[in-house]
Every structure is written in structure tokens, then in C-alpha cells.
Structure 1
Amino acid sequence: MVTLDLKDLAKYPFLKESQTYIGAISSSLEHYLESTGGRVAIREAMLMLEHALSFSGKETPSIPEIPPEKEAVMTIIATYPVSRIMVSCAQDRMLIERLVRYQAWVVFAFLQDEEPEIKRFIRRSIGLPETGMDISVIDYIPVASRMAEERWRLVNRVVEKGKVRIRPEEYDEIVRERLRYIMSRNLPLKVPSRICDQVKPAIERIKAEWQKKVLEEFGQVEESAFPPCMQAILGALTGHGHLTHMARFAVTAFLHNIGMDNTRIIELYGSVPNFDLRKTLYQVEHISGRGGTSNEYISPLCATMRTHGICVHPDSICSRVTHPLSYYKLKKRDLNKQKYQKQVKDPDESMKKRVESEGDQSDTNTPDCIPSSTDNKYKDEKST
């Protein structure tokens, strides 16, 4: 039997023991959020979300300090549910994914120097075997699908009697991604509107930070940086081809996620046979969170694209990422680097092109932007 102290509850706030403890500090969530401790928890949740937005997911984050004071520990534990309430009220799937990724990685950081009995307890609490070095294929697949390295692919693992062999040094990673999967699956929460109203100022600030982050990450929409799967789907769109429901969802969510305006997305569907403006408008606004539900969707993972047969013509960048948005960021960064190197190599030619571009009043030379089907000119995309 494992005995958890307050420090353990603060390190692993997702445990039911942690939530039971924090649930006893107030008669209701509404009263707690109005209290001094609740306001502090909201502030700490905002800081956590800011860390989550800037976290790359490529290296282990620094371990947060756990203070000795009981009130401070209670605030740390409360920050976990409050942050989940906030992203649930925000109804932004990408924000949810950033939060759960960061929270799972923080747990991973704590696990590196954790006692064996605590590790076994945590494994059991999230549905993994306490001992042994294998897990069921059913549990393994949703975990491994989020990992980019080739070693996690099922074809590269030892599988016996429906169990996937895991090396001892890999198990903390499995715990991290299993926890991330569970956290993500359980969000968004159904939060009463009165609770959302209490955290609304904090949500608005986080949304503003997120929009700023999206602009920094994606900037102007560049079709040349699209992953092969999205290029193929767009090619089918403009070529009057048939698209599955998943393909339509994937490309619509992708274009919205990188900042394309809904009007421009709808225009792309204009050449599809039996185009219905009313239905297309409804679908696009529903996916982008502007159709009344406020539930904004993120484009599917590469593993999901493969499952539905719409991962086509993968290239060298595809092998390095697990999501089309990650591909887009990497490719766009490479393209910008190439443009910069070309300008440095031939500054006179770059200046000449710039002068010619500025002298063109019609603003027609933006080859990397998707054109509007209702306008003969190319226009710069504005990130939302």
C-alpha cells in the first residue's frame, strides 16, 4: 500500500487522491473560484497555459518547485482542474492539446527521480501494468501514434500474444503519452456557464496569447509549405475530384488552424460538383468553432490520416513529424531560410524584385498564396 504525502499530490494532481483532497477545501467550485485561493489558482492556471503555449515538446521541461507551505501546495493541486476548466470554456482544441502535452511532460519530468513504488502506483492509476515490460496492443497504438521516432512504430516492436514489449528505459515515456491520451480524451469538460463567466477574463487573455502564438508559428498562409496529404486533397478539390468526409474535415481544419479565413476556405469548395453554399458554410463554420457550438477542431494526426487512406506521397519531412501542422511549420521554416540565403547571395537581384513588386499597383505577385476563385488577383492572407 502506497502512502502519498502532500508533495506527491502536488506532483501528480491528476490522481483521484489529489482531486479528492482539493475537493474538500470548499463547498462548491463557484465559491472556491471567488475566494482568495481560487483567484490565485486562476492566476497560476494562466501561467501554466502560457508555459504550455511556449513548450516545444522536444525536451523535458524544468521541474516546478514544490513549496513546503500547505496553502501553496493546495494551490498547485487546484491549478490542474482550474486549467482544464479554462480550456474547456475556451473550446479550442489546439489549446487543449497544448495544455495536456505540457502537463504530461511535467509528470514525465517528475518521474525521472521518482521512487519505484510511486511509479508502480501511477502506472496502475492510468491503466498500465504495475510490473512487467509489455502492454496490450490496444493500449499501445493510441500512445505510440503520438511519437515520431521510428522505434515506436508497431512494425519495429516485439509483439507476442497481443502484447507489445517495452524496454525498461522506455516505460516512463509510455506513461507520459498514456497520460496525455487520457487527459485529452476527457476534454473538453461540460462546464456550467456561470463557472465559465467567472474565468472569462483569464480565458480572453489566454485566447489572445494563443492567437499571437498562431501568428508567430504560421504567419502568412503558403501553399508551397503544405504537406503532401493536404496538397493532394486540395488538388482533388480544384480538379473536381471526389472527397471523403474525413478528407474534407482534415483539409478544412488544417486551413483554419494555419489562419486562413473561412470565406477563402469556402471558395476552395466552389469547384466541387453539386456545390451547396449553405451546407459548405455550415460545415466550415462548425469545424472552425463559429457555428454556434464554439468547439474549434484541430486537423487529424498523421496516424489518423494513414488510417483513413489520405496520407499520400509522404516525403522526408513526413518521417520527422506526427501532425500535418508540424510539417507545415518545418517546411515553411525551410522555405524562409532558402529565401533568406538567396537574398544574401544575390542582394542586387532581391532589391530589383522588391522594387518591381512595390511598383506593381495591382499586387498580383504572391505565388505562395492560395488564390481566390472569385478574384483574378492574388492577395496576401491575413492570419486570424
Structure 2
Amino acid sequence: MNSLHARYPFFEAARDAVRDADVDLSELIAAEDPAVERAHERVRRSLLEGTARSETPDAWTETQELLSYPIARILVSLLNSAPAIEKYAQAEAKTAIDRLQTDIEADDDELRSTSTVRLDRKRLLRELGLSAVIVPEPTTGPREPAWFRIDVGPYLELSSSTWREKWKLVNRELVDGQVRVERHELQKLLQKAVTNQVQAGLPFEGLENNPISDALEAELADLNRLLSQRSTVGAIDFVARELFPPCIENLLQKAENETQLIPVESFTLMAFLTGIGMDADEIVAFCDASSLDPEGIRYQIEYLKDDRGTQYPPPSCETLNTYGICHNEDEHWKQAGDPLTYYKKQVEQRRDDVTDWRETRS
């Protein structure tokens, strides 16, 4: 068992390491091993913030980090929610691709100063069964290839019709059955491949009457509370900043002061803007004079939205309060328990007195 297994727990070698360790997960869970707490955090942050990273990475051993992954898969299976499984898998994949990029960019001095085992793209392609269908274009020197070619079949399987126009096959360079993609585009395709791998086999069956579900009762109660907070306020489709709830306005001002938002702050802001009916291009323009990165915005919007609309709107005011984001200014909790409901009520009361921001752009 090594650091690579802990950082990329969906690898076959990582699964083998868990099996070789001869660990009984049910006993581990019953004993409230620290890996259970990390698994709970893993799922919670995946659903709330779009990342599986720990807020306190130094608090966990490599073994605890690795074992938290199969326990997290049990937890998310017990949630009995297809959207939750999808969002969890996406967060695990995003975390893995971010780590891959860090590994690739690490220089020799950094590698010598740490015991972390480095992952390269070739190893990831092998793990995903893509070595034969994705090849780099030749480059000179040690530089990372700027372009890659991927067989058209896997390209169509990994790309999505909901992605931007440039991803459509008619807009791509296609030669000898291969699609040419830039390095950052390849990362997006690999992220989808990892998502598929993490999601494969979920949910586990036969857990409902298993003692494991009883042992995870507290963790499941917390996660189900998060899921139950999903808003059903209906379509708003009106953008008036002066009506935004105080917590959202505070986050906007913080970003406009060039302060980097922590993940839960960014997630909350993007979930709110998506929830009131803004699309990715509008949000990028709306947040233009801020510390928010356009590509980061687009990723979060894609994470938050699908054909059915917003899956995970902003958390409740109570949850935001635990993160220090909502402070119940003007006792607005008496009006609404979440940002979208608050905003909808404001729009219903004052819509005739304000102008939709989108009208000022035309």
C-alpha cells in the first residue's frame, strides 16, 4: 500500500491493496475507524463542493485515506439517489484529474522532497483501458505534448452533446479516424472516463438490511439531510443583484475584491446563480470583474446542471451558517430557510421596481 493507492483509489492496484490487506470493512465500520469519518467527509464534500479532497489531509494516514474510498461507495449507495451517485463520481474524477495535473507539473526537486509516488498520463491511460486509442503528437525535448489524437469512437463515448459547440464532431479536426484534441481538452475527456469508472457498479445491492447500514446511521442521516435541502422553488429566471440574499451578495463582493473563494463559497455562489436561471455564458459575464476563473465557472455549472435543471442548489441557511457564510442578517431566516426561496420571495414582491440584469447588456 503506497501513496499512489491512496490518491487514486479507483486503480486496480489500489483495489488489490485493499484486498491484500485482508480488511473486513464491516468490522472497520462497526469499530468507527477514522476511515469512516474520512468517507463521510469524502461524500459530503463531493455533494456540497464538488471535490473529494479532505479539508485536513494531514489528519489521515495513507491507509485511512485508501479505505475511506470503498466505505464512501457504500455510503453513497445507501443514499438511494442516482443524482447523488453521479455527482459523487464526478467529484472523485475531478479530484483525480487535478492530482494528475499536479503530478505532471511537479519538477524533480519537488519529487525528491516528498515520499509521494508520482502518476503520469501513460499510467492513467493504461488504468482506463485507453492506451491504444489515445496517443500524443510528437514533441521536441521534455515538454508536455500540446496535442493528442483520440480514436473517434472513444471520443464520441467520452464527450457529451451537452458540452459546448466546439466539442461537436463536425467542428473537430478528424484525420484517419482520429480526433485532434488539445491537452486541456484531453483532461476533460479523461475526467469523464474516470467518472465512468468510479460510477461503475454503483449502487451496491443488498445493503438495505445489512448491519452496515445501521452502523452508518449517523453519517447517512447527515447526508440525507443535505439531499433533503434541495430546493423546489420552481423557475425564477430573473436576475436582479439588489434582491440577492445577503450571503450571496457578500460572496460576490469578496470575489470582486480579488479574494479567492474557498470551494464551498464558490459552490454556493454558482449554485445560486444557476438556480435563478443564468446560463454559463451569463455567469461568466456577470462575474467578469472578480477572482473567479471562467473555466472554473463553466466546470461548476456543468456539475450543477443537467437536462432536468439544477440538481444541487445552494445549501440551506443553517448549513451555510456552519461554514460561516450565512449570518442571518436582518433575521431573514424568518422569511426563508435557503437563498433561492429568499430570492424568489424578493422577486415576487419587488419585480416591478427593478430591472433584469440581462436587459442592461443588450
TM-score range, shorter chain: 0.5 to 0.7
The answer to whether 1:6 aligns with 2:2 is yes
Give TM-score scaled by structure 2 length: 0.56
Please tell me whether the aligned partners of residues 74 and 204 of structure 2 are also in contact (alpha carbons under 8 angstroms): yes
Structure 2 partner of 1:221: 234
The answer to whether 1:206 aligns with 2:223 is yes
The answer to whether 1:161 aligns with 2:168 is no
The answer to whether 1:17 aligns with 2:13 is yes
Please tell me whether the aligned partners of residues 44 and 223 of structure 2 are also in contact (alpha carbons under 8 angstroms): yes
Structure 1 partner of 2:124: 122
CA shift for structure 1 position 211 = 1.0
Structure 2 partner of 1:252: none
Please tell me whether the aligned partners of residues 52 and 92 of structure 2 are also in contact (alpha carbons under 8 angstroms): no
In structure 2, C-alpha distance between the alignment counterparts of 1:85 and 1:207, rounded to whole Å: 14
Please tell me whether the aligned partners of residues 143 and 177 of structure 1 are also in contact (alpha carbons under 8 angstroms): yes
CA shift for structure 1 position 122 = 1.1
Structure 2 partner of 1:274: none
For residues 268-287 of structure 1, what are the structure 2 equivalents within 5 Å?
none
In structure 2, C-alpha distance between the alignment counterparts of 1:120 and 1:64, rounded to whole Å: 29
For residues 143-158 of structure 1, what are the structure 2 equivalents within 5 Å?
143-145=158-160, 148-158=163-173
CA shift for structure 1 position 151 = 2.4
Structure 1 partner of 2:46: 52
Which of 91, 94, 100 is matched with 2:89 structurally? 100
* Structure 1 gaps, min length 5: 226-314, 348-384
The answer to whether 1:87 aligns with 2:76 is yes
In structure 2, C-alpha distance between the alignment counterparts of 1:318 and 1:36, rounded to whole Å: 42
Please tell me whether the aligned partners of residues 135 and 150 of structure 2 are also in contact (alpha carbons under 8 angstroms): no
For residues 1-384 of structure 1, what are the structure 2 equivalents within 5 Å?
6-37=2-33, 40-55=34-49, 66-67=57-58, 72-115=61-104, 118-129=120-131, 131-132=135-136, 133-145=148-160, 148-192=163-207, 193-194=209-210, 195-212=212-229, 214-215=230-231, 219-222=232-235, 317=279, 323-326=306-309, 340=347, 343=350, 346=353
Identity %: 18
* Higher mean C-alpha displacement, 170-179 vs 108-117: 108-117
In structure 1, C-alpha distance between the alignment counterparts of 2:170 and 2:203, rounded to whole Å: 33
Whichever residue aligns with residue 26 of structure 2, its letter is E
In structure 1, C-alpha distance between the alignment counterparts of 2:28 and 2:52, rounded to whole Å: 30
Any idea what SS the aligned residue of 2:98 has? helix
Report the RMSD for the aligned CA atoms in angstroms. 3.7
In structure 2, C-alpha distance between the alignment counterparts of 1:53 and 1:105, rounded to whole Å: 13
Q: Give the greater-gyration-radius structure (CA).
A: 1
Give TM-score scaled by structure 1 length: 0.53
Distance 1:121 1:21, change over 3 A: same
- State the aligned residue count: 240
Whichever residue aligns with residue 120 of structure 1, its letter is K
Whichever residue aligns with residue 206 of structure 1, its letter is L
In structure 1, C-alpha distance between the alignment counterparts of 2:7 and 2:178, rounded to whole Å: 30
